[in-house]
Amino acid sequence: MKVVHVAPFYIPVVGGVEEVVKRVAEFLAVRGYSVYVITYNRLRCGGIGSLPRYENINGVHVIRLRPDFTWSHGSYSSELPAVLRELRPDIVHVHVWRHPQVFQVARLKRRLGFKAVLHGHAPFHKFSQLGLATWLYHRFVDAFLINYLKLYDVYIALTPYEAEKAVQLGLKKDKVIIIPNGVSEDSCRKDDVTNRDEGVVLYLGRLSKAKNVDLLVKAMVFVSKAVSKASLVLAGPDEGIVKSLIEFARKKNIRLQYLGLVSEAVKHELYLKSYVYAFPSLYEPFGITLLEAAQHGLPSVITGFGGQLYSAPPNIASVWAKPNPLDYAQGIIELLTNESLWRKISENAMKWSQNFLWSRILPKYEKLYNDLIA
């Protein structure tokens, strides 16, 4: 069976969608399938044409198309139809609803005779996370291009929330399946999670406006007054906001450390040594770092609505707080000062995370593909 994934980005670009594509593609390659990833020759910010057009990464054939034009995280390439005609795939698995490749593949599906899977990745972000132009584009697509969605054989939703949204867009329930994102099984021992720096609040992920990190930094003003030993650690790639966050923290006497992009080994240590994981996003398609934190027995403070309520359910793996600095700070303070609550959520979070191990998730893709071809 030849399976082709079509995704906005792939290695070396880092992100939640990229990790899912990588995991599924490499799992299938190990299982003996012929696996291709078609993506665009660019980085998340710039870097057009800076990567090899053809590359074999861990048994996966990567083809990077020349983008005719790009915007934000979106790309369009007129090369895609010709590449698919040449590959003659059995299954085309397209990632991220509303991106141009969704419509290109839908138009080719019947002509080339492949089965088509659309992996939506829950792009239902708030206006404040998108900006006016992107928000208007989303509204236009959902109003006028929705019939393309119905051409796909299966729609993969990350969460029940996304599945409900897909049905609201017009899909039949029997075309929608839920396959959540996964986490690797971690080797940390039970006694590892007791040796923590009790004042450390951790955020790990992209430092961008869309992630609402400024809410967290503003909340730390109240946290620092209530808990004298409180400090904030930020880790992840900067998308243009870190300088202003550091300046604000300095003016408000907040202890803040920015580590930049960190390795998997350092991530592991951060999850183990921190006392609270802060996830201030108003809407998140899934929230994989919430599961990683839970795996390490690290309780989270979340806000907003979306995938975060599924990956870190309140009172099981997290405390939910209103999205304003004072209320969000109270959620953090509660975990920093209430040992019995911290311990309860820590233990429940570790148990919850076991439902999302990649070893349980990845076989679902193989079964889906085989069911489609049968």
**Which comes out higher in pLDDT, residue 232 or 71?**
232
| pLDDT computed for residue 283 by the predictor | 93
Whether 302 and 309 have beta carbons less than 8 Å apart is answered as yes
What does pLDDT average to over the chain? 94
Sketch out the chain's domains with CATH numbers. Answer: 2-182+357-373 (3.40.50.2000), 190-355 (3.40.50.2000)
CA distance 367 to 313: 28
Q: Which residues contact 163 (CB under 8 A, 6 or more apart)?
A: 157, 176, 177, 178
- Give 203's pLDDT tier (boundaries 50, 70, 90): very high
Residue reference for tokens 């880790």: 235
Average pLDDT over residues 317-338: 98
Cβ atoms < 10 Å from Cβ of 37: 26
Question: What is the sign of the dihedral through the CA atoms of 109, 115, 119 and 120?
Answer: positive
pTM of the model: 0.86
Using alpha carbons only, how large is the chain's radius of gyration in Å?
Answer: 21
DSSP string, 336-360: HH-HHHHHHHHHHHHHHHGGGBHHH
DSSP run (H or E) holding 216: helix 213-226
pLDDT digits (tens, 9 = 90+) for 147-156: 999 999 999 9
pLDDT digits (tens, 9 = 90+) for 105-151: 999 999 999 999 999 999 888 888 888 888 898 888 888 888 999 99
Residue 187 has pLDDT above 90, yes or no: no
Omega of the bond prior to 12 within 30 degrees of 0, cis?
yes
The answer to whether residues 279 and 152 touch, using CB atoms and an 8 Å cutoff, is: no
Pairing of strands 200-204, 276-279: parallel
CA gap 342, 297 in Å, rounded: 9
Model confidence at 72, in pLDDT bands (50, 70, 90)?
confident
